[in-house]
Amino acid sequence: MFNFRYFTPTEVCFGKGTVDNVGEYVKKYHGTKVLIHYGGGSVIDSTKAIGYGLTNEGDVWDLFAHARTADACMPLGCILTIAAAGSEMSNSCVITKKDTGEKRSYNNDIARPKFAIMDPELTMTLPDYQTACGCTDMLMHTEERYFTNGGNMEITDSIAEALMRTVIKHARVLVREPENYEARAEVMWAGSLAHNGLTGCGNDGGDFSSHMLEHEMGGMFDVAHGAGLAAIWPSWARYVYKECLPRFKRFALHVMGIENEGSDEEIALAGIKAMESFYHSIGMPINMRELGIEPTEEQILEMAHRCALAAGGQQGSAKVLKEEDMAQIYRMAR
């Protein structure tokens, strides 16, 4: 295992009717004037970018281009209306530069929200597709930290596996019962735990290749982030699993419930196939064609080049990917 630092200062107010406590929390954290930023999807991420822009000189995009570091961020609080990105408890945010289609991330602890109001009832009016996208995103935040070749802790693995099993179970419930409060509550809390650093304690920092690959798809084709992750993950998994076989076998056994019969490779591939079946069961795609996009070879090469540039030349822990690897995964996912 690796040494680690775990920092989660966000105060969580969770449960039915907690939205009524917003004023109390604004006062608690010394708020006197409030800028309200609202919408679906990545609104908390863009709120963080606004917070940086209000407190730092120059173009805020410089931060996401990693040309400089933020000195401060306005204090943020959030009322969660979709369970997905985990931005309510994370130090990260992703935004898109509209004129170029670049989608980039920036991580800094100073942008962690002071408080998060989390009322599962507020998510009951979400379209089924967005609920499924959210469940996919939180699964992927966990898997990105799980599929590594750089050290692990048994307790961290066990937490991650329980989290993934819980999301899979309750995502299926929500397909049948979108107003099931218990299922909404389980996935809402899972989304926060998936991206607040807990499931990465003791490893090498995680893989995050699927996220990097999806960022370029999202930037070029404007697809929903969770659906894009579902469309790229199976091809990424089949491309890298031999380099990370013990982890893929463990995932198959402990998360997807595959029987411990056959070779390690057969078990690992059965786990990947089971994950594809799960995605289909909640209405998610498993390739770009099902996502509704058909990139040309030229577009694939452009996405791979941008992905490699954003990653500094290479990305990954399960298997280190370079630009040609990225292009091949896009081709497999087409």
pLDDT digits (tens, 9 = 90+) for 48-83: 999 999 999 999 999 999 999 999 999 999 999 999
* Region 189-211 average pLDDT: 95
> What single-letter amino acid sits at 315?
Q
* Region 138-156 average pLDDT: 94
Residues 6+ apart with CB under 8 A from 307: 212, 213, 215, 216, 315, 323, 326
Question: Is 79 in contact with 40 (CB distance < 8 Å)?
Answer: no
What are the counts of helices (DSSP H) followed by strands (DSSP E) for the chain? 13, 5
Q: Which pLDDT score, from 0 to 100, does residue 42 have?
A: 82
Question: Token pair of 112, please?
Answer: 């962690």
Residue 332 has pLDDT above 90, yes or no: yes
Model confidence band, residue 39 (pLDDT cutoffs 50, 70, 90): confident
Residue 23 has pLDDT above 90, yes or no: yes
Burial of 5 (0-12, 13-18, 19+ CB in 10 A): exposed
* Region 324-331 average pLDDT: 98
Residue 41 has pLDDT above 80, yes or no: no
167-179 pLDDT tens trace: 999 999 999 999 9
DSSP string, 69-109: --S-----EEEE-S-SS-TTS-SEEEEEETTTTEEEEEE-G
Residues 6+ apart with CB under 8 A from 185: 14, 15, 120
- pTM of the entire predicted model: 0.94
**Percentage, residues of the chain above pLDDT 70:** 100
CA distance 30 to 66: 31
Q: Which pLDDT score, from 0 to 100, does residue 197 have?
A: 94
CA distance 209 to 224: 17
Q: Which pLDDT score, from 0 to 100, does residue 109 have?
A: 96
* Region 182-202 average pLDDT: 97
* Region 194-200 average pLDDT: 95
210 φ, ψ (degrees, to nearest 5): -60, -40
pLDDT mean across residues, the chain: 96
Cα–Cα distances (Å) from 190 to 8, 22, 142, 185, 307, in that order, read 15, 22, 10, 8, 28
Check whether domain 11-123 has CATH 3.40.50.1970, yes or no: yes
Model confidence band, residue 151 (pLDDT cutoffs 50, 70, 90): confident
Q: Which pLDDT score, from 0 to 100, does residue 165 have?
A: 98
CATH H-level superfamily of 128-333: Dehydroquinate synthase-like - alpha domain (1.20.1090.10)
User: Which bin fits 41, alpha (ψ -120 to 50), beta or left (φ > 0)?
Assistant: left
15-32 burial code (b ≥16 CB/10 A, e <16)? eeebeebbeebbeeeeee
Residue 105 has pLDDT above 80, yes or no: yes
Domain with CATH 3.40.50.1970 in the chain: 11-123
108-143 pLDDT tens trace: 999 999 999 999 999 999 999 999 999 999 999 999
Q: Which pLDDT score, from 0 to 100, does residue 98 have?
A: 87
Question: Token pair of 237, please?
Answer: 């998994």
